[in-house]
Structure 1
Amino acid sequence: MITTDFVPGSPCWLDLGAPDVSAAAAFYGPVLGWEFEPPEGSGDPDGAKASGSSHRSDGFLLAVRGGRTAGGIGLLTERGARSAWMPYFFTPDVHETAASVLRAGGSVRVGPRDVAGWASMAQFTDPQGGQFAVWTPGRSGGGLAAVDDPGGLCWTELYTTDAAGALAFYETVFGWQREDTPMPGGRTYTIVTPAGQPPERMHGGVLEVGTAELALSRGVPAWHPVFAVADCDAATAAVRDGGGAVAMGPEDAPGIGRMSVCVDPSGADFVLMTPAAPGPAAT
């Protein structure tokens, strides 16, 4: 499970690069029950919250659920880049992690920098092409506060063309522990957990796929977020109502939950999941 007790290598932030921040907020508000507000000290003229919409078309917005921060939406400025969600993993030292990424064969997309005293961050590309980032919360404690509950991040997942290479890279950078799980068709799904943490702190998975299965990310390996929702069918209907598309589901995954793979109107993919109810405790 993902928690707010961040340890090295655990997910601690998430944001979306969108071509239109207002339109993205209007879409995700009804789907995930988010409200939006500018970061503190951003100079917003009125600081008003917007439920499912925003008066800011180019500023960064925090997504909030029940008073807790669930992520952010910012303007996509890189020419030719696709709109996508970016996962951030906790590190106590952004500069040290950047050096580790380079030694392991990755590259730096955005070098280490401070985010208005709220956090330090950097963005990278792994050797297979998957993009990810790291985050060190600042004095104000910037980071995810809504996790594992409806509207919050509950899992991260990497689809890659070379699982062995990707896992070797991330183990070098973060020290992740791994557990292989067999899948139908002879494939393997690898569950990852922060170094030194018990199995219940697992936070994501890695799956090797062919290029054809990466159509949503233009054929490039990519991370995507899984958001918890109270009712997968209702949230998926909201995706369609908001102009998004559904690539798969909703369907049941035994022992895991009911889920759907969705795409927002700008092409960013994500997963909705209503987790399965826990089974009866052993006696």
Structure 2
Amino acid sequence: MFDSRHIKTFHQVVTSGSYSAAARVLGYTQPAVTQQMKALERTAGVPLFTRAGRGLRLTEAGEALARHARTILTSLDAAQQQLGALARLRAGRVRVCGFPSANATLIPEAMASLLADHPGVRVELTEAEPPESVQRLLRGECDVALAFSYQGAVPPVADELVEIPLLEDRLTVLLPVGHPLARRHAVRLTDLTEERWIAGCPRCRANLLQICADEGYAPDVVFTTDDNLAVQSLVAAGVGIALMPSLVLAFMCHQKVTGRLVEPHQFRRVSAYVLREHMRVPATAVVVEELRRAAAARAGC
């Protein structure tokens, strides 16, 4: 395998026309250049130069290598520049997989700040509910995964992952405007025993069943959908009520529905997950930091 240093020296010998001229340009001694060219010829297995009087002439093999040398050096220079840009956060690609309400709230806020401070970093966004978002991370299909977990149902974190807690997303009960309980600031779960319910994704449905069971009853789930807009429309139509995270209500709210805090206090924990070894990748680390800032700003609202 060719040594890139030898290729650089060879290219300079060809350009300068002699070992001594190349040595002056590169800051080497002439014997050092001679030794490098001998080493390059040993690697190539054929002579690269012949003497023509006091000058040098390329052999056929030397001419072939000379044609490739510039391309090789240009590629190496481009690679060094790209790696330097990545290290200095001037460039980089980060693949993020998040769940719908995070993609509609935290991601836009974080990306706006990211583009202002690091315009060379590019983010590719995909969508999946947990635990699928974390599974995609483990399969190498994304670099950062956003996921949530409910109280009492926190999944274990794989050893190769780092969890970065972002915020506690409070749960609200979604009621149709005009519902008798809509006049209250907060609603107790025990006041909702006779209501019909609309459930969300499997993890959200499981949480609804569990917290109602903790209050001593089984909710009457008449409809299930993970479409947040459909949930609000169903509530507005009087089909049932729903338990909705605050992040969802932050970006869309049907005019005929209203949200009220739930008592006892209920929330889901929203976190970012990254492969432990990828925390050292500058572009990934800065995306995580921007997500932290966006979450902190939202929590302070």
Q: Normalising TM by the smaller chain, what interval?
A: under 0.3
More helix by share: 2
Structure ranking higher on relative contact order (CA contacts 8 Å, 6+ apart): 2
Structure number with bigger Rg: 2
Structure 2 length normalisation: TM-score? Answer: 0.18
